[in-house]
Structure formats: structure tokens, C-alpha cells
Amino acid sequence: MKNSVRDMSLMDVGDDNIVLFHPHVPESAVSLVQQTLTTRWIGQGPKVDEFEQKFGARFGEGRTAIAVGSGTDALHLSYILAGIEAGDEVITPVFTCAATNIPLLYQKAEIKFADVQPGTLNIDPSHVKQLISDRTKAIVCVHYGGLPCDLNELSAIAAERGIPIIEDAAHALGGTYNGKPVGSISEFSMFSFQAIKQLTTGDGGMLVLKDGSLAEKARRIRWFGIDRVAKQMGNWDNDITEIGYKYQMNDIAAAMGLSALAEFDGVLALRQKLFRRYSEQLQGTPGLQIVGDGYTDREHAAWIFTVIAEDRPGLQAKLRAHHIESNQVHYRNDRYTVFGGRRNNLPNMDAIEEKYLVLPLHPRISIEQVDKICDVIRSGW
């Protein structure tokens, strides 16, 4: 069946095309969503509670999880809870989805872009150290592609100043660091369930809190600033004393989330297998470097597989001629007008800006297809 292509830069599904991303929705989601649609609660209700519970147990070692409408919502909540206000400096990765940094603008924070680390494209702790000032209020990190950042180094820097680490773990569901799941480590961890992430609810997100006493405030500002629990106990005329948003998850999305959570371990294992296959097959290819492999103290969550390639346009054209999609996916954020529109002097980012490329990795890709992609690349471009 042909998927009509909404984005003309994308290929059709089918025709031997190997597409870069494809949503993964388990079959069990269909019946659970259908069941949910027949109940009184299709908005935020019991399915959201259950999803939060199970998610916090699985990824947060029992921490409180707050389900929201998107990963961006979760990031905004974490920035509010961390007390980030107008003029506060926040150190954040230059290389990430704009979703990481746009909510810092909601808070009118002063963004300090940190450079990438060459082999991982994660935030470079040595540059973070240089950017720290008396006005730094938080450090944001992104586990690029699914490889956890140098959290020991980052938390040492943060602890020295008594400021929190906010993990944008949108890529890293299922990743671990020193044996601990991503989601159980820093003050704030945020996940995204957007369509092409490892676990999807169509759109959705989760904020996991180290300090459970922040949960009440998090739930209030998720819902206009209203104490929804008190309201449901019968107190309908309660006051609103702080500005909140409409950031809640609904039970239809939570039903998808619960189904996906139940089979997540299998999906993660498959993704990691595909990642390892790419790494093995592409090791030592001239003009090519693999991003983020070879670590033993942390487990890669294998959201995407990225290479640094000489003559990227040449490689992309060759892949396309073989019906293989590839793309940059993320762009350095300092080039966007809303962030100032001026490339900072970031030598590591500058060095890879014209070279990084993301290859297809998702549950619809087979080992044979990875082998085919690697054969095409190894034959040169």
C-alpha cells in the first residue's frame, strides 16, 4: 500500500524504499484504545494514572512521573519547577531538536549554547564548565541519538553550584548510565512520545521528578493552576493562584502508552540489535565515523544511528539512488532567528555541521536491510 507522501522530501513506504522513520504502534493498542473510547474517561483519567505509575516504576526507580501532552510540555514544566525566570542563564546543547530550547524562551531565560563532544555529539562537559557563571540556573542535556551524556561530569559541575540537571531524554528511553535507567538519575528527566520516538502515544510526554514534593505543583500547572484532586473531591470553586497551562495527557494517548510499555523491552532489544549491526558493518569504512558507539559504562537506547561522513551530499545521493532515506534530523539551534540567528564559535559543532547524517533505524527495518545499507555505503560514494 502506498502512503501518500505529505512531505515531498520523503519517499513512499513500499517500492523497496527504506524509510528513515516509521511510527511503531503495537497491535494491542488498537483494542485498548477502542475499549477506552467506550468509557466515561477519554480525557485525563484512570489510564493516565496507570501509565504514570508503570512508567515511574520502570524508568524512574519509583519516582513520580507526570504525564503531559508532549515532550515540549514536560520540558516547559521542568523549567518552571527549576525556578528558571527572565534573565536567568541556562546552559543547553546547541545540537538538538528545537523543542529542547524553545520553552526556555517561554521563560525568557538567557540561553548559553554549549558545544558538542566530537565522538558522541552530546553536550561537552568541558565547555559547560567554561560557560558556568553566577547567573547559571540550570544545565540542560540531551542524550543524542539515545547515548546517555557524561552525567557524572555534568552533575559534579552542577553540584558545585547547587543547580539542577534537566535531562532531555527524548531520545533515550531505555538507556542506562552506570547501570541505572535514564529517568532515575537527575533532578528532572523528560521523555517524548511523539510519533517517531521509541514509544509513541501520537503525541505525549512524561516528566520524572527526583523531588516528589514538586509533584503537586507540577500537577497544578499542568491544569491551568487548578488543584484538580481537590476539585474532584467536590471542591469545584477552588482558587487559582498561579499561572498554569493545559498540558495534560488524555486517556486515549495513555492507552497507547500502556500497550507500548508492555512490549517495550522487545522493541528496545530490536533497536539495539540493529544499532550493533550497523556499528559492526561500518567499522573502519574510509571517510566515515560512527557516532556514540563503544561505551561500556552506559547503554545506548538506539533511537537513531548517526555517522560523520566526508562528502555528505555525495553519500546521501548514493543512498537515495538505492532507495534509502537519510537526513540530518536535527540542526544546530544557534542558526535559528528566534535564538539570535548567529552561529556561535563552537569548534566541534563547526567541524561536523556539514558531515553528520542519520540512517534508518526502527522496528520495520530488518537486519538484511541494515546489511544492504552498509553494503551500499562500503562500496564508496
Interface residues with ligand PLP (CB under 6 A) are: 70-72, 96-97, 99-100, 142, 168, 170-171, 192, 194, 197, 205
Name the residue nearer to ligand PLP (CB basis): 97 or 370: 97
Beta carbons of 50 and 41 less than 8 angstroms apart: no
Nearer to ligand PLP, 95 or 381 (CB): 95
**Shorter beta-carbon distance to ligand PLP: residue 99 or 256:** 99
- Grid cell, residue 197, equals 520516538
* Least distance to ligand PLP, CB of residue 72, Å: 3
| Shortest distance, position 303 Cβ to ligand PLP, whole Å | 8
What gap in Å lies between CA 341 and CA 53, rounded to an integer?
A: 41
Nearest to 214 by CA among 196, 239, 189: 189
Residue number, nearest CB to ligand PLP: 71
Cβ nearer to ligand PLP, comparing 58 with 197 = 197
Please give the Cα distance from 143 to 147 (Å, whole number): 5
Give the nearest distance from C-beta 343 to ligand PLP in angstroms. 20
Q: Which three cell numbers stand for residue 217?
A: 505543583
Q: How many CB atoms lie within 10 A of CB 151?
A: 22
Tell me how far, at minimum, the Cβ of 158 lies from ligand PLP, in Å: 19
Rank residues 58 and 76 by Cβ distance to ligand PLP and give the closer one. 76
Which residue, 115 or 381, is less far from ligand PLP as judged by CB? 115
Report the nearest approach of ligand PLP to the CB of residue 196 (Å).
8
Q: d(Cα 91, Cα 141) in Å, to the nearest integer?
A: 8
* Long-range contacts, stretch 152-157, CB < 8 angstroms, 24+ apart: 152/178, 153/125, 154/123, 154/125, 154/128, 155/185, 155/186, 157/125, 157/128, 157/129, 157/132
Minimum distance from CB of 375 to ligand PLP (Å)?
29
